[in-house]
Chain A
Amino acid sequence: MKIAIGVIALLIIFSIIQYNAIVQAKVRVDSAWSQIDVQLQRRMDLIGNLVETVKGYANHEKSTLEAVISARAKAVSSSSPAESAANQNMLTQALGKLLMISEAYPELKANQNFLSLQDELTSTEGRVAYSRNYYNESVQIYNTRISSFPSNIYAKMQNATLKEFFITDEASRVAPKVQF
């Protein structure tokens, strides 16, 4: 009798730990996702300012500027990790082009505002990359946990489903080197 009670008590404790471990992993994924959001938002703001600055010097590069603006708008409105990743990749490419053409404008390159924006953008790119790594790691931990036995039983109890990775293409995995 005593043994049975002991076994049941252990089982309950084990279940609580297992259940909460999944909750914890899920919370980690969510907070990792919001951390990416924070960094991406910072990136968006910087890009907005950058576009404004470039406009003042190179307004006739309309197509490039518009490509960046529309890519930025799309990136802001993306909802799922996969969609966001694709849009971010597009934005990174457009941004690369924009920075390339600004090579041709010596006045722009001498602009203090432009330089500091560029510095900040570089640092933010690093942060975006780090937050993505952390998100993917968190997703991996979470996915492993909810699919492996016996925690998958407890995952079913809370209707846990596999999370998507934030996949970036090879080029944007490393922060783009913004060099002049």
Chain B
Amino acid sequence: MDLLASRAKWRTLAILALMYAIMLQLGYIVALLGGYQVGIAAIAIVSVIALMVDAYSYWQCDKIVIRITGARVVSASEAPFLHNMIEELCIASGLPKPQIAIVDDPSLNAFATGRDPQHALVAVNTGLLEALDDNELRGVLAHEMSHIYNRDIFVSAVSAVCVRIVSAIANGFIFAGIAALTAPSAPGRKTKEEQDAENGRRAMGLGLLLIGTFLAITFVPALAILQFAISRTRESMADLTGVKFTKDPEALASALRKITGSDIPTYTRAGGTAHMWIAKPQFTGGGLSNWMSSLTSSHPDPATRIATIDAVARGQSVDLALAKQTQSSASIAFAGLLAAALVIIPGYFVGTNPLQVGIVSDYYGTDGDYTDTGNSDGSSDGYYEEEVNPDADGGFGDGTTTDNGDVNPEDATGGLGDGSSDESTDETDAEPDAVGGLG
């Protein structure tokens, strides 16, 4: 790989990372300056933008991945051998022919990408082409075609988005908490009620901070680990589906042996592309990220993979093995969605109670204060009434919060339900296909 190309890749990556950092930082600064409501709004906007970036990169992933990896799309006349093999596998799987690319990289690896089978890309490293014989290469290509067949790019995009939403909610809580805790108090003497309101606000801030921190150290990593677990089962599924296409488990096992035995690591240019490669790429980040990648692996242990395929080679039913993997993939996905729902659904319902702070709606704290000070020329009676059950707040709460309560949560849960049922229909669709396919 030449220096210029790799520098271009690094620049792309650096720009992406920088953009993301700036967006988060902006949200934080806005939260500190403008108060927590603005901060929450900023976080929400940033999250929506981040999700839109996710959606865009999912939509365009074939093109983006070509840019990031430096893969070169090859025509049938440039690589007739590769094209012939892929055409055979298309016949075996019923998939349309994907684009075929070669990556100038001595490491033994290959990957598949594309938002759907019509926009799929299979790329092979030059190292792999040199090291493997025909049958082994066919086994690896079948693994990649299986990723397309099983819609694994979609699955991993959905799981990544789930993690992102939950971590955005956790961030929102933390930022709102910090803002509520650190917001300067009104100057001058305060009435008892004002003091109470301020204390209440600070207590709320602390609570939010604690909830956010709790989410950030429990649900977010748990979901991330589930995401990796899904990735691992999808890899095993792709191994087995590929074997179903080629009917040649020995070749894939021997290819995996060669790939894991190779001492040339694949240095991926972006951690986010790890799930696509047939063998787990090394991260370039050094000690810490290597430790992280051993903790959360996108690929199953190679020895386990080879053992599973060997069992199939010895005559164990590939259908049964595949059904097992499909099942565990589905149950992990279900656990993940459940965990995400545990955070996301209450996140919406929190907004229905005017005494609590939601992600989108505000709580009674400062708004009440401001209205109170504005109205303070009124009788102390009204003052007290407002304090206990502030009219302005109540009106606001009725306007926004009840709306939130009645419409948003249903919308939200409905949306989530749709999302999960989409997922599961996809899953069940894939299952009978895969399982039914077993001869």
Contact = CB atoms under 8 A, between A and B. Distances in A.
B167 to A, nearest CB: 34
Interface string B383-425: 0000000000000000000000000000000000000000000
A141 B94 contact: no
A123 B437 contact: no
Contact of B438 (A28, A130, A140): A140
Looking at chain B's contact residues, the main secondary structure is helix
Contacts, number: 46
A137 B322 CA distance: 15
B436 to A, nearest CB: 4
A123 B87 CA distance: 11
A133 B94 contact: no
Contacts of A133: 92, 245, 247, 439
A137 B439 contact: yes
Contacts of A123: 84, 88
A39 B92 CA distance: 12
User: In which size bucket is the chain B interface?
Assistant: 10 to 19
Interface string B226-269: 00000000000000000011010000000000000000000000
A35 interface: yes
A145 interface: yes
Interface residues of A, number: 19
B437 A141 contact: yes
A141 B88 contact: no
A96 B297 CA distance: 49
Contacts of A140: 436-439
Interface string A25-49: 0001001100100010000000000
Nearest to A32: B94
B193 interface: no
Contacts of A131: 91-92
A126 interface: yes
A108 B3 CA distance: 52
B34 interface: no
Question: Which 7 pairs, one residue from A and one from B, show the smallest C-beta to C-beta distance?
Answer: A141-B436, A130-B92, A137-B437, A130-B91, A131-B91, A144-B436, A140-B436
Interface of A: 28, 31-32, 35, 39, 123, 126-127, 130-131, 133-134, 136-138, 140-141, 144-145
Given A35-B91, A123-B84, A137-B437, 6 more contacts: A126-B88, A133-B92, A134-B92, A137-B244, A138-B94, A140-B439
